[in-house]
Amino acid sequence: MTKVEAIIQPSKFEAVKEALAELGVQGMTVLEVRGHGRQKGHTEVYRGREYSVDLLPKIKIEMVLADEMVNSTVDAIVKTASTGKIGDGKIFLSKIDHAIRIRNQEVGVAAL
């Protein structure tokens, strides 16, 4: 099993969610987060005053998947979330050793 964490632009979330549903991804956790990467934010003008926005809004999607679904899932996220501009986001993959469904104590891939 592999945990996929994708941090994407908020405007791309619905398209990514639909692409993942088409692949058969059944469960995900979605969080509204703020952060920055290399772009370090930007400056904006509000009521005539300039200020720095250094933590930008993003969406973080977390999923634990069977290993055979990981490549197609990553490909779908990259294809759907990419604009080709700085700030598109990142994808992190981590190995998961064990999963347990609390309701009926199923373990491993069956718990997903």
Total of domains in the chain: 1
49: pLDDT confidence band, cut at 50, 70 and 90?
confident
With CA atoms as reference, report the closest residue to 5 among 61, 68, 59, 70.
61
Residue type, position 56, single letter: L
Tell me which residue range forms the domain holding 53: 2-111
pLDDT tens-digit profile of 54-109?
788 999 999 999 999 999 999 999 999 999 988 899 999 999 999 999 999 999 99
With CA atoms as reference, report the closest residue to 16 among 26, 6, 31.
6
Where would I find the beta strands (DSSP E) of 23-101? 29-35, 42-46, 49-53, 56-65, 89-95
CATH label of the domain that carries residue 14: 3.30.70.120
11: pLDDT confidence band, cut at 50, 70 and 90?
very high
42: pLDDT confidence band, cut at 50, 70 and 90?
low
pLDDT surpasses 70 at 112:
yes
C-alpha count within 13 angstroms, C-beta hemisphere, residue 94: 10
